[in-house]
Amino acid sequence: MINARISGIASYIPDDILDNEMLSNMVETNDEWITTRVGIKERRILHKDVGSSYMGIIAVNRLLESTGLAKDQVDLMICATSNPDYRFPSTASIIHHGCGLTSGYAYDIQAACAGFIVALQDANAYIRSGLYKNIIVVCTEKMSSMINYKDRQTCPLFGDGAAAVLVQPTEEPGMGVQDAVLHVDGVGLDYLVMKGGGSAHPTTQQTFDDGWHYLFQDGRHVYKHAVTDMLTSSLDVMKRNNLTADDIKYLIPHQANLRIIEAVADKAGVPMDKVLVNIQYRGNTSAASIPLCLDENKHILKKGDKLILTAFGAGFTWGAMYLVWDM
């Protein structure tokens, strides 16, 4: 049986740091308040007058350089982003062109913070079908473009960044993507949304004045759903594959809130020394958070390590994936 494996990974984060002390000069907050509630000390911000594609292009170029894959060998690019450069064309098409790729197709998906595992499952299906052999999944998020830096509830949470993985086939038993469970429930619309700018509420002076072009989040509802749904989906994929917490080398959760991560790990029986975390210095980078965390920890990952990836985002959209590391 052919499985899909991650055979390369690369990332990019902007140089500019926005730490909690700097935020305290912009909005009524402080380091203790932010650290205690969400576990974030700083985040990276892309101050350049460019879109998410800028970071995606750098991440993909780094991936191509590190793997040695020729540009004309890329069969498909899947871009996961909640911050596209434009309503259209797709951000994937901009990254594809910006990297000088000369073959293959490219498209966007929108699964918010669950974007990486959703895109990786798409790539897994293409690989297993035999349709494509070289697929790039790129996740790029300029979250700062949708954040109101006068809203103390949301502005400490988010940062910018991008990461890309190369997905290729393997016939080695037990390697690569083994299984995934994905869910969606439209009840999340009221609790995590950008109300303005779409066809439901096109841009007007009123939508602008009402702040509908910033991210809105009902933190209490999102926290409750995120803990429950990331936990249950992780346990489901583990049960389906006869895995216990002892079998798992690492749990890699979406980096939204350290309290959420700790609650999921505790309820799943996974000690925190087996949970990969980088939220302290990256914040929530939405779809890019899991691959960013993977890239920054690839030096400790070994072939055969059994990993559980889990994420929760707007929609609500959530799920978990069982991946055996093969790099």
Tell me, yes or no, if 284 is annotated catalytic.
yes
- Pairing mode, if any, of strands 105-109 and 317-324? unpaired
Cα–Cα distance between 279 and 9 in angstroms, integer?
A: 19
The per-residue pLDDT for 1 is 84
Pull the structure tokens for residue 135: 């697929």
Pull the structure tokens for residue 207: 């939508």
Tell me, yes or no, if 201 is annotated catalytic.
no
Three-state helix/strand/coil letters over 138-195: EEEEEHHHHCCCCCCCCCCCECEEEEEEEEEEECCCCCEEEEEEEEECHHHHHCEECC
Catalytic residue among 3, 61, 278, 284: 284
pLDDT digits (tens, 9 = 90+) for 48-87: 999 999 999 999 999 999 999 999 999 999 999 999 999 9
Nearest C-alpha neighbor of 235 from the set 317, 179, 293: 179
Cα–Cα distance between 101 and 120 in angstroms, integer?
A: 20
Catalytic residue among 113, 139, 155, 293: 113
Cα–Cα distance between 231 and 236 in angstroms, integer?
A: 9
Tell me, yes or no, if 254 is annotated catalytic.
yes
Which residue in this structure is represented by tokens 């700790």?
Answer: 262
Which residue in this structure is represented by tokens 């038993």?
Answer: 173
β-bridge mates for residue 159, sequence order: none
Report the length, in residues, of the chain.
327
Cα–Cα distance between 116 and 322 in angstroms, integer?
A: 13
pTM (two decimals): 0.97
Cα–Cα distance between 15 and 12 in angstroms, integer?
A: 9
Catalytic residue among 254, 257, 278, 293: 254
Pull the structure tokens for residue 272: 């925190």
Q: How many CB atoms lie within 10 A of CB 280?
A: 15
pLDDT digits (tens, 9 = 90+) for 272-326: 999 999 999 999 999 999 999 999 999 999 999 999 999 999 999 999 999 999 9
Q: Report residue 222 CA to chain centroid gap.
A: 17
* Residues 25/28/31/36 CA torsion (nearest 10 deg): -160
Q: How many CB atoms lie within 10 A of CB 235?
A: 20
Mean pLDDT per block of 10 residues along the chain (327 residues) reads 96 98 96 96 97 98 98 98 98 98 96 98 98 98 98 96 98 97 97 97 98 97 97 98 98 98 98 98 98 98 98 98 97
